[in-house]
């Protein structure tokens, strides 16, 4: 369970709950690239799990492609099951690249030659997974030896020297400082920050904010000061019989917020755990983390993330986003927001109430009353409101051109699209 922090100021790009909303008329809020956010999203897969639904590669490929995710996480395997490399390269050919988890028994030769087996897919190494669960009392020393070896081998080889190395994932708070010596040997710190059935903006459920994003990021920064952070696992179980399980529709509300909250805190990429339920609870205790059921039918979280990524996707050359003059008024308590821009000048403001919709301890739903706010822009804008229903489907509501729009916010993300009235009128007339 682990995470980072962010500062808030008059020029902040996004806002957290209980922070001041964008200021009075005339103040410009700077946006960030919509496509950069889309590129911050990844998902875990297990293409080598031949005794699970992952064996159906055509369905896996279709699910990833339709989700419009660009990054996956899997294991570095050699030898590998039949089709493993071919399938990963096929995904890479479609623009879906992978990071690959190493293990401490792999040789320098394997580590440096493995990327050549995945020329279409390989985009980074990851140090061993949750190695602090090892029964070896010197697990941290063994891990230091391996991570240094991985770093030295990869960085010395011209074919792999540019590939990033993501550090080890850990499961216990005390493990972080034991790993402080690893810092020179990886590029990005790694967090497995699960929220144990709580809302993604939770302030924690233990001493000192235990389990919150702030708490987790503090662990990483104390061990590896200044390192950028990647979350290679986070997600929710949707089997409510599990101690941390929550209903599917609640996960559908939380998961888009997870991605936005992680982005707000400066976490470079978030890999959801995982794409697909494994299907056999007796064999796989974590069988309900998937965005899809084991028969590939979508859960609300899959559809909501799909809708958000499709809406914000904007591939193209790098550009410098501009600013939008707007203000928020009304009941802004616990309201979070984030502003994005596309190449064509359209702005997208994501807003939501960051409260819990489910008490995971008592297994009871919690009512989050809607809050009414108004958005006022300095100039007339054509407004489209993109919202999600309980099943995760996105719905669009077009507003008339104007300066003020009243909105009812809930604990589901809504995304307000702003376009200049001039470009809107031109589009209508075919110019």
pLDDT digits (tens, 9 = 90+) for 5-34: 222 222 334 665 433 344 434 478 999 999
Burial class (CB in 10 A: 0-12, 13-18, 19+), 178: middle
Among 312, 329, 353, the domain-final residue is 312
Phi, psi of 269 (to 5 degrees): -150, 145
Q: Which of 20, 68, 19 is nearest to 42 (CA)?
A: 68
Q: Please check whether residues 181 and 220 belong to one and the same domain.
A: yes
In the structure, what pLDDT confidence band is assigned to residue 404 with cuts at 50, 70 and 90? confident
DSSP string, 257-287: HHHHHHHHTT-SEEEES-SB--S-TTT-TTT
Percent helix, percent strand, percent coil in the chain, to nearest 5 = 30, 25, 45
Is 8 inside any structural domain? no
User: What's the pLDDT score for residue 422?
Assistant: 58
Separation between Cα atoms, residue 339 and residue 351, nearest integer Å: 9
CA atoms within 13 A on the CB side of 66: 15
Q: What is the mean pLDDT of the chain?
A: 91
Tokens of 329: 């008024």
pLDDT digits (tens, 9 = 90+) for 232-246: 999 999 999 999 999
Burial class (CB in 10 A: 0-12, 13-18, 19+), 123: middle
Separation between Cα atoms, residue 38 and residue 263, nearest integer Å: 10
Q: What number of residues does the chain have?
A: 431
Q: Please check whether residues 90 and 226 belong to one and the same domain.
A: yes
**3-class state of residue 223 by DSSP:** helix
Cβ atoms of 310 and 304 closer than 8 Å: no
Separation between Cα atoms, residue 286 and residue 307, nearest integer Å: 26
pLDDT digits (tens, 9 = 90+) for 251-277: 999 999 999 999 999 999 999 999 999
Q: Quick check: 285 pLDDT over 80?
A: no
The DSSP H or E segment spanning 62 is: helix 57-67
Q: Please check whether residues 270 and 335 belong to one and the same domain.
A: no
Q: Which residue has the tokens 């902040």?
A: 12
Is 195 inside any structural domain? yes
Domain residues for 24?
14-34+319-429
**Pairing mode of beta strands 269-272, 229-234:** parallel
Among 285, 312, 339, the domain-final residue is 312
pLDDT digits (tens, 9 = 90+) for 58-117: 999 999 999 999 999 999 998 899 999 999 999 999 999 999 999 999 999 999 999 999
Q: Please check whether residues 307 and 359 belong to one and the same domain.
A: no
Q: Which of 88, 67, 87, 96 is nearest to 298 (CA)?
A: 67
Is 408 inside any structural domain? yes
Is 374 inside any structural domain? yes
Is 6 inside any structural domain? no
Cβ atoms of 374 and 270 closer than 8 Å: no
Q: Please check whether residues 121 and 138 belong to one and the same domain.
A: yes
Is 228 inside any structural domain? yes
Q: Please check whether residues 328 and 246 belong to one and the same domain.
A: no
Q: Please check whether residues 299 and 352 belong to one and the same domain.
A: no
User: What's the pLDDT score for residue 16?
Assistant: 55
Question: What is the average pLDDT across 331-337?
Answer: 96
Is 5 inside any structural domain? no
Separation between Cα atoms, residue 231 and residue 234, nearest integer Å: 7
User: What's the pLDDT score for residue 14?
Assistant: 66
pLDDT digits (tens, 9 = 90+) for 134-193: 999 999 999 999 999 999 999 999 999 999 999 999 999 999 999 999 999 999 999 999
Q: Please check whether residues 65 and 21 belong to one and the same domain.
A: no
User: What's the pLDDT score for residue 287?
Assistant: 81
**Pairing mode of beta strands 335-341, 323-330:** unpaired
Considering its fold, how many domains does the chain have in total? 2
Question: What is the average pLDDT across 217-236?
Answer: 98
- Please calculate the CA angle 390-305-21 and round it to the nearest 5 degrees: 85
Separation between Cα atoms, residue 237 and residue 255, nearest integer Å: 11
Q: Which of 191, 186, 264 is nearest to 233 (CA)?
A: 191
Cβ atoms of 168 and 182 closer than 8 Å: yes
Cβ atoms of 117 and 90 closer than 8 Å: no
Q: Please check whether residues 62 and 168 belong to one and the same domain.
A: yes
In the structure, what pLDDT confidence band is assigned to residue 301 with cuts at 50, 70 and 90? very high
Q: How far apart are the first and last CA of the chain?
A: 52
Among 259, 286, 312, the domain-final residue is 312
Query: CATH number of the domain that 142 lies in?
Result: 3.20.20.80
User: What's the pLDDT score for residue 22?
Assistant: 43
**3-class state of residue 199 by DSSP:** coil
Question: What is the average pLDDT across 121-140?
Answer: 96
* pTM tops 0.85: yes
Phi, psi of 62 (to 5 degrees): -65, -45
Residues 6 or more apart whose CB falls under 8 angstroms from that of 222 comprise 176, 177
User: What's the pLDDT score for residue 280?
Assistant: 77
**3-class state of residue 151 by DSSP:** helix
Q: Please check whether residues 220 and 73 belong to one and the same domain.
A: yes
Q: Please check whether residues 264 and 363 belong to one and the same domain.
A: no
Residues 6 or more apart whose CB falls under 8 angstroms from that of 262 comprise 40, 200, 213, 231, 234, 270
User: What's the pLDDT score for residue 279?
Assistant: 83
User: What's the pLDDT score for residue 15?
Assistant: 64
Is 344 inside any structural domain? yes
Q: Quick check: 396 pLDDT over 70?
A: yes
Question: What is the average pLDDT across 122-128?
Answer: 98
């Amino acid at each position: 369970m682990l995470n980072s922090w962010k500062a808030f100021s008059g020029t902040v790009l996004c806002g957290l709950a209980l922070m001041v909303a964008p200021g009075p008329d005339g103040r410009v809020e700077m946006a960030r690239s919509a496509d950069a956010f889309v590129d911050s999203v990844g998902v875990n897969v297990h293409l080598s799990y031949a005794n699970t639904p992952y064996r159906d590669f055509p369905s896996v490929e279709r699910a990833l492609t339709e989700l419009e995710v660009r990054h996956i996480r899997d294991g570095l395997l050699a030898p590998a099951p039949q089709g493993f490399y071919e399938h990963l390269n096929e995904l890479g050919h479609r623009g879906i690249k992978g990071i690959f988890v190493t293990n401490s028994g792999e040789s320098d030769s394997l580590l440096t030659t493995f990327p050549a087996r995945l020329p279409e897919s390989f985009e980074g190494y990851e140090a061993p997974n949750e190695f602090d669960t090892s029964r070896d009392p010197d697990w941290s020393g063994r891990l230091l030896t391996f991570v240094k070896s991985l770093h030295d081998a990869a960085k010395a080889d011209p074919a792999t020297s540019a590939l990033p190395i993501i550090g080890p994932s850990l499961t216990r708070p005390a493990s972080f400082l034991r790993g402080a010596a690893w810092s020179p040997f990886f590029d990005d710190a790694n967090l497995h920050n699960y929220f144990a059935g709580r809302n993604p903006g939770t302030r924690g459920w233990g001493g000192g904010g235990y389990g919150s994003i702030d708490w987790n990021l503090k662990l990483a920064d104390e061990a590896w000061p200044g390192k950028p952070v990647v979350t290679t696992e986070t997600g929710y179980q949707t089997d409510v019989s599990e101690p941390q399980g929550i209903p599917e529709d609640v996960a559908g509300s939380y998961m888009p917020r997870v991605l936005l909250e992680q982005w707000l805190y400066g976490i470079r990429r978030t890999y959801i755990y995982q794409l697909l339920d494994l299907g056999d609870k007796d064999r796989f205790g974590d069988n309900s983390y998937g965005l899809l059921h084991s028969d590939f039918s979508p859960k609300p979280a899959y559809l909501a993330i799909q809708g958000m990524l499709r809406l914000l996707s904007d591939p193209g050359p790098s550009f410098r986003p501009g600013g939008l003059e707007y203000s928020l008024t009304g009941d802004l308590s616990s309201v979070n927001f984030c502003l994005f821009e596309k190449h064509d000048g359209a702005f997208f403001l994501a807003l939501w109430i960051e409260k819990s919709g489910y008490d995971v301890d008592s297994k009871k739903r919690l009512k989050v009353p809607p809050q009414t706010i108004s958005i006022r822009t300095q100039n007339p804008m054509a407004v489209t409101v993109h919202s999600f229903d309980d099943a995760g489907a996105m719905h669009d509501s077009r507003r008339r051109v104007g300066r003020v729009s009243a909105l009812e916010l809930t604990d589901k993300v809504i995304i307000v699209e702003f376009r200049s009235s001039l470009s809107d009128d031109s589009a209508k007339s075919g110019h």
